[in-house]
Chains A and B, each alone.
Chain A
Amino acid sequence: MAAPSIRLLKVVVFGLCLVPLAMLVLAVFGVGGLSLGANPIEELIHQLGKWGLKFLLMTLAVTPLRKLTGWNWLIRFRRMLGLFAFVYVLLHFLVYAGLDQRFELTAIIEDIAERPYITIGMSALLLLLPLAVTSTKGMMRRLGKRWQKLHRLVYVIAILGVWHFYWQVKLDTLEALIYVSILAVLLGYRLLDWWRRKRWKAAGPRSNHDRIAHPR
């Protein structure tokens, strides 16, 4: 895809990524028939968390989609999607810490220490921080090969995040299981890809050897 159209598309995608947040802000003020219902704090926390997970899964979908379709330009949207995942997860935490817990540090620390689902959710957020910080082009250049290694943390983060969602559900896990399944497909694709490449690499030198050996 040509550079100008990518630039335009980036603006459009950026705008789309802000739509859920805008809807929630409107709902807070009850504008346009939107409402957060009878338990607005919980609704805000749940919606922000779920959007964080959705953006994480979209970020993880970029590479498989790119490989399957050959649309290499998709990669240019990955950072934006990843950063939006971070923004929504951070807001999810801030509404929990600020509105739900009113920034009472002892209560928050107790929650993180005693509620396993909050422990893993908090870990996922903390692991997201270095990825957000090192998402710039300059950092990418400076870190070189280590950048890719560091950013493989996103797999761990996604697993912790989806697990955090699954674990806090009271009984009806259907919705959380949809997230689990999508993540399983996205990670499964990578495992399969890795395994195929490994086999191909393993087969590689042998066939070379055959080729060299043959003329003798």
Chain B
Amino acid sequence: MKSDNRIHPWEITSERNYLNRRQFIQAAGLAVGAGAAAALPGRALAATRELDTVPGPYSTDEAPNSWEDITTYNNFYEFGTGKEDPYRNAQEFQSRPWSVKVSGECEKPGIYNYEDIVGPHTLEDRVYRHRCVEAWSMVVPWVGFPLGDLLQRFEPNSDARYVRFKTLYDPQRMPGQRRAVLRWPYVEGLTIAEAMHPLTLMVVGVYGKELPNQNGAPLRLVIPWKYGFKGIKSIVEIEFTRGQPDTSWEMAAPREYGFFANVNPEVDHPRWSQARERRIGAGLFAEKQPTLMFNGYAEQVASLYSGLDLRKNY
């Protein structure tokens, strides 16, 4: 059981977030549901199950975003392309039972259910910066365990140079998949070195609680030095491959999104600047802040890319 007197990193709530939360609750209470500008109903506040966690390494001491910001504003095209669509459309989604098919260049392929995947691992609280390719950012207290620890259990062989991930494809349960905005199912990939890096997290929760559906329940990746879209959600397949896997956004617009998608303030998106970012929750009068190389994780990951032209390999 979780001890009651432990203080989580996010429990030192900044005044900004406190006010933010109060405003939200006020707005939710008065919600009339009129048009696009109407506040979201209070459902976002409904907490999911508490998880048993320990503090993990690499946490930033920046103030995390509120639960409301994190669970009502994100991209998850499987539930619609609007920022609030995932929150609105994912409430009915059932994430159990859940299983993951493991295949490719490894000794222990097979179908593993959620409990098999998560059970053997200690869940860690890790507060990471999150940078979206759309030039907004958050600070999120994720709960998860190193992806590398999971992948080792499948005993990848020496031909496993990449890892490919796939999201559930089920238009019945994921209404956003009824429109061909992206080529479904969503696929993502990492080099084996990226996948094994201790920063790379298999995430099962946020704020000490089980991951809400709209954030990619029950299993999603978080690779904090890459743009958010690399963090594939609701994972049902993991495959060890010899060649570089296709990835969804690269297939959709190869000039705009690459395989690596490392956060890089010096390489602009063809249509907008990546030099600065808007921190969500900072309010109407806050200045944008400079984007950091590798989202501030250069010390940990820059060596992965030595010799690679980051302008070409965006």
Contacts and interface: CB of A to CB of B under 8 A. Distances in A.
User: Do A and B truly interact?
Assistant: yes
Interface of A: 23-24, 27-28, 30, 32-43, 47, 99-100, 102, 110-111, 114-117, 167-168, 170-172, 174
A206 to B, nearest CB: 53
B83 A115 contact: no
A167 B37 CA distance: 24
Contact of A39 (B33, B36, B73, B287): B73
Contacts of A24: 37
A24 to B, nearest CB: 7
A107 to B, nearest CB: 8
B136 A117 contact: no
A114 B78 CA distance: 32
B278 A33 contact: no
Contact of B271 (A23, A42, A102, A167): A167
B281 A41 contact: no
A172 B249 CA distance: 12
B249 to A, nearest CB: 8
Given A37-B83, A38-B83, A39-B73, A115 B39 contact: no
Interface stretch (B24-32, B90-98, B198-206): B24-32
Contact of A37 (B28, B72, B252, B273): B72
A169 to B, nearest CB: 9
Contacts of B252: 171
Interface string B22-56: 01101111111111111110000000000000000
A97 to B, nearest CB: 13
Nearest to A102: B287
A117 B37 contact: no
Contacts of A33: 27-34, 38-39
Interface pairs A-B: 4 shortest CB-CB: A38-B73, A35-B39, A33-B30, A172-B81
B36 A47 contact: yes
14 contacts: A32-B32, A33-B33, A35-B24, A37-B73, A38-B69, A38-B73, A39-B280, A42-B136, A100-B278, A102-B287, A111-B273, A115-B272, A115-B273, A171-B181
A142 B38 CA distance: 46
Given A23-B37, A35-B27, A115 B284 contact: no
A23 B36 CA distance: 10
Nearest to A116: B271
B215 to A, nearest CB: 13
Interface of B: 23-24, 26-40, 68-69, 72-73, 77, 81, 83-84, 134, 136, 179, 181-182, 252-253, 268, 271-273, 278, 280-281, 283-285, 287-288
B307 to A, nearest CB: 29
A35 B37 contact: yes
A34 B39 contact: yes
Given A30-B26, A34-B34, A167-B271, 10 more contacts: A23-B35, A24-B37, A30-B23, A33-B28, A33-B31, A37-B73, A100-B288, A168-B272, A171-B181, A171-B182
B37 A30 contact: no
A117 B271 contact: yes
A96 to B, nearest CB: 12
Given A23-B37, A33-B39, A115-B271, A39 B83 contact: yes
A116 B270 CA distance: 10
A28 to B, nearest CB: 7
A126 B278 CA distance: 27
Nearest to B39: A35
A35 B40 contact: yes
B273 A32 contact: no
A35 B28 CA distance: 9
Contacts of B284: 28, 40-41, 99
Nearest to B65: A38
Contacts of A23: 35, 37
Nearest to B138: A38
A170 B285 contact: no
Contacts of B179: 174
Contacts of A100: 278, 288
A32 B30 contact: yes
A102 to B, nearest CB: 6
B40 to A, nearest CB: 7
B120 to A, nearest CB: 36
A39 B37 contact: no
A208 B298 CA distance: 83
Nearest to B283: A40
Contacts of A41: 278, 284
Contacts of B285: 99
Given A34-B38, A171-B81, A172-B81, A42 B281 contact: no
B157 to A, nearest CB: 37
A34 B37 contact: yes
A28 B39 CA distance: 11
A39 B282 CA distance: 9
